Amino acid sequence: MVYDACVEVKLREGIADPQGSTIEKATANLGFSGITNVRVGKCIRFQIEAEDDQEANNIVTELCNSFLTNPVIEEAVIEIQVAG
Amino acid sequence: MVYDACVEVKLREGIADPQGSTIEKATANLGFSGITNVRVGKCIRFQIEAEDDQEANNIVTELCNSFLTNPVIEEAVIEIQVAG
């Protein structure tokens, strides 16, 4: 079966996020008020072929651990659903 | 009220995604098979103060149009929910 996978890679709490800070300052300068805690992550979407949900989940988890994230500073949230 | 907002900024369909292509090639080289259509987007999360859902949505939409996305090549998906 083909699954749609979405991996959100985000910086762990407490890790500085310069990109987010820059956006936060810019929003204030542009006249948007009340915007706080801006954090910027990556969203990696792809399709994957697997026998079942469990296998798809295992492959994506391995992919995350082996090279989509840097586990020291990043964490991943995985979402998988049947494509279509 | 305070809302949690998530803006997923992704390249429009048909726009080349070199980062995604690189990941796709790498997965094959690393022995993961059956992974296709890799697309990499940004996921911008923040908190926003607004009177109600409608106002929060309007502010975030304006923010997207004015500087979070490049509307020529990117599109945004907005999710908003009450924080907590």
ipTM of the assembly?
Answer: 0.90
Q: Best interface-test mutation with A: which of B6, B9, B37 has the largest number of A CBs within 10 A?
A: B37
Mean pLDDT of A27-54: 95
Q: CB of B78 within 8 Å of any CB in chain A?
A: no
A22 falls within a domain: no
Domains contained in chain B, number: 1
A75 falls within a domain: yes
pLDDT value at residue A26: 94
Cβ-based burial of B56 (10 A; exposed 0-12, middle 13-18, buried ≥19) = buried
Sheet containing strand B35-49, edge to edge, reads: A74-82, A2-11, A35-49, B35-49, B2-11, B74-82
A20 falls within a domain: no
Give the model confidence (pLDDT) of B69-78 as tens digits.
999 999 999 9
For residue A46, give the nearest of B36, B45, B68 by CB distance. B36
The CATH number covering residue A45 comes to 3.30.1280.10
pLDDT value at residue A28: 92
Contact assessment for residue A39 and residue A17, using Cβ atoms and an 8 Å cutoff? yes
* The pLDDT of residue A63 is above 90: yes
Q: Best interface-test mutation with B: which of A27, A57, A77, A79 has the largest number of B CBs within 10 A?
A: A27
CA-CA distance, A50 to A3, in Å (whole number)? Answer: 7
From chain A residues 11-70, the ones with a CB under 8 A of any chain B CB are: 20, 23-24, 26-27, 30, 32-50, 59, 62-63, 66-68
Q: Range of A78's domain?
A: 2-14+40-82
